């Protein structure tokens, strides 16, 4: 990837996860005609959540590598149109029970602990794998994970008691001199890919977990909170969403919710 692009992305203060995402998009495009490639995506009604980062990646690349001006690209690049994002899907309570038992049985650390924590914290996979020990704070006897998340926004994630116990047990095995919460045997933090290997493994081994991803676990956290009556503003804060419209994608009843509602009649 171009050094000029990397330099621009760093100067813009973008997180490593965002920079990596843009570089992955440009690498996958594999074309010299990026404007044409982006036009084809827009005309194909690609989901908006895919078009937006693609447009941003192309724009940064053309400015840093080919010297385009921003106002010039605003005219040349297609407007970011696409299909609305699909409603978010989550594990049902029955699926979650299967998942927690399967994750707990994994012999591989630190992936096992991360997989146990994801549906209890709602963290993005890049956030939890990049946790440092300094991000763990205690206030009024409660453990809170405090870090900079997407968009460099301050994120505060209070841990439920069971999650706090899981994290504490894990930390006892982490080398004292490691700054990372989830280091590998080589000392570096586990990568998001290193966790996704096991979500794919569980999805293959258990029919009830078909389609399992770390993002599904994040959705499961949001849905679990909604079932307890958490209001949308608090949910937005807990999920780390900049826009409440993103949070509203989680506000759809599952089949189980509809059955429960009828059963209350």
Catalytic residue among 19, 124, 170, 219: 124
* 241 catalytically annotated: yes
Whole-number pLDDT of residue 1: 59
Whole-number pLDDT of residue 261: 61
Whole-number pLDDT of residue 250: 65
Q: Would you say residue 100 has pLDDT above 60? A: yes
Q: By mean pLDDT, which of 80-84, 138-142, 249-253 is the weakest?
A: 80-84
* 60 catalytically annotated: no
The confidence band for 88, taking pLDDT boundaries of 50, 70 and 90, is low
The confidence band for 81, taking pLDDT boundaries of 50, 70 and 90, is low
The confidence band for 257, taking pLDDT boundaries of 50, 70 and 90, is low
* 193 catalytically annotated: no
Q: Would you say residue 86 has pLDDT above 60? A: no
Catalytic residue among 112, 155, 218, 219: 218
Catalytic residue among 21, 89, 215, 227: 215
Chain segment 36-71, per-residue pLDDT in tens: 998 898 888 777 778 888 888 899 999 988 888 888
Q: Would you say residue 5 has pLDDT above 90? A: no
**Mean pLDDT within 117-133:** 94
Whole-number pLDDT of residue 119: 95
Catalytic residue among 55, 59, 88, 241: 241
* 150 catalytically annotated: yes
Is the pTM higher than 0.85? The answer reads no
**Mean pLDDT within 84-101:** 80
Catalytic residue among 22, 61, 221, 250: 250
Whole-number pLDDT of residue 152: 74
Whole-number pLDDT of residue 45: 75
The confidence band for 132, taking pLDDT boundaries of 50, 70 and 90, is very high
Catalytic residue among 150, 201, 227, 249: 150
Instruction: Tell me the backbone φ, ψ of residue 44, rounded to 5 degrees.
Output: -85, 5
Segments of the chain assigned to CATH 1.10.443.10: 93-255
The confidence band for 19, taking pLDDT boundaries of 50, 70 and 90, is confident
* 176 catalytically annotated: no
Q: What is the mean pLDDT of the chain?
A: 86
* 124 catalytically annotated: yes
Distances (CA, A) of 190 to 102, 172, 177, 199, 257: 20, 17, 16, 14, 36
CATH 1.10.443.10 fits 93-255, yes or no: yes
């Amino acid at each position: 990837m171009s050094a000029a692009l990397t330099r621009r992305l760093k100067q813009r203060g973008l997180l490593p996860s965002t920079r990596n995402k843009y570089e992955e998009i440009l690498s996958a495009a594999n074309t010299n005609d990026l404007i044409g490639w982006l036009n084809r995506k827009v005309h194909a009604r690609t989901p908006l959540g895919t078009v937006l980062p693609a447009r941003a990646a192309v724009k940064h690349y053309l400015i840093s590598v080919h010297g385009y001006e921003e106002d010039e690209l605003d005219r040349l690049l297609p407007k970011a149109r696409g299909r609305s994002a699909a409603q978010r899907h989550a594990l049902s309570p029955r699926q979650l029970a299967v998942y927690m038992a399967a994750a707990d049985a994994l012999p591989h650390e630190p992936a096992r602990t991360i997989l146990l924590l994801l549906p209890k914290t709602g963290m993005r996979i890049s956030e939890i794998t990049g946790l440092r020990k300094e991000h763990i704070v205690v206030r009024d006897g409660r453990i809170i994970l405090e870090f900079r998340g997407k968009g460099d926004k301050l994120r505060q994630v209070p841990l439920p008691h069971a999650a706090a116990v899981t994290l504490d047990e894990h930390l006892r095995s982490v080398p004292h001199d490691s700054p990372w919460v989830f280091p590998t045997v080589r000392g570096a933090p586990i990568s998001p890919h290193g966790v996704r290997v096991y979500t794919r493994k569980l999805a293959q081994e258990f029919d009830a977990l078909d389609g399992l991803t770390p993002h599904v676990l994040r959705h499961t956290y949001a849905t679990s909170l909604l079932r307890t009556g958490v209001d949308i503003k608090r949910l937005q804060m807990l999920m780390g969403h900049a826009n409440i419209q993103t949070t509203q994608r989680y506000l759809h009843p599952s089949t189980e919710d509809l059955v429960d509602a009828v059963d209350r009649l």
